[in-house]
C-alpha cells in the first residue's frame, strides 16, 4: 500500500520568504557563536571582534567580480583544501529550530 500525501507547491514569493527567514535566523546565530568563542575563550578585544564582524559583512555584500559572486561552496572548498576544515563536523552538530 502506498501512502499519499498532499504536497503544496510553494510560489517563488513563498520560497524567497523562507530563504530570507532562514538567513535571518541562521546568520546571527552562527556569527554570534563565532564572536562569543573569540571574545570569551580566545580573549579577543571588542574592537577586534567588531572588525571581524564588519569584514564578514563586507565580504557578503561584495559586488560580483568578473560577473560572478563568491558563493559559500567556493569558500568551503577553499578552506577545506587550504587549512583542512571538516564542514561535515559542524553540519552534524547543528540542530535546526524554527521560532515563531
Query: According to the model, what pLDDT value does residue 1 have?
Result: 53
Query: According to the model, what pLDDT value does residue 97 have?
Result: 63
> pLDDT grade, residue 96 (50/70/90)?
low
Q: What is the pLDDT of residues 46-88, one digit of tens each?
A: 999 999 999 988 888 887 777 777 777 888 898 999 999 998 8
Query: According to the model, what pLDDT value does residue 72 have?
Result: 79
d(CA 14, CA 49): 35
Asked if 80 contacts 87 with a C-beta cutoff of 8 angstroms, the reply is yes
The mean pLDDT value for 1-22 works out to 75
pTM greater than 0.75? no
b/e code 8-19 from CB counts within 10 Å (16+ = b): eeeeeeeeeeee
> pLDDT grade, residue 4 (50/70/90)?
low
Amino acid at each position: 500500500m502506498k501512502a499519499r500525501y498532499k504536497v503544496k507547491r510553494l510560489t517563488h514569493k513563498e520560497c524567497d520568504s523562507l530563504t530570507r527567514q532562514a538567513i535571518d535566523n541562521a546568520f546571527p546565530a552562527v556569527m554570534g557563536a563565532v564572536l562569543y568563542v573569540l571574545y570569551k575563550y580566545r580573549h579577543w578585544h571588542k574592537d577586534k571582534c567588531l572588525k571581524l564582524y564588519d569584514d564578514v559583512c563586507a565580504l557578503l555584500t561584495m559586488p560580483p567580480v568578473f560577473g560572478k559572486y563568491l558563493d559559500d561552496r567556493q569558500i568551503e572548498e577553499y578552506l577545506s583544501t587550504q587549512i583542512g576544515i571538516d564542514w561535515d563536523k559542524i553540519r552534524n552538530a547543528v540542530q535546526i529550530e524554527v521560532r515563531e
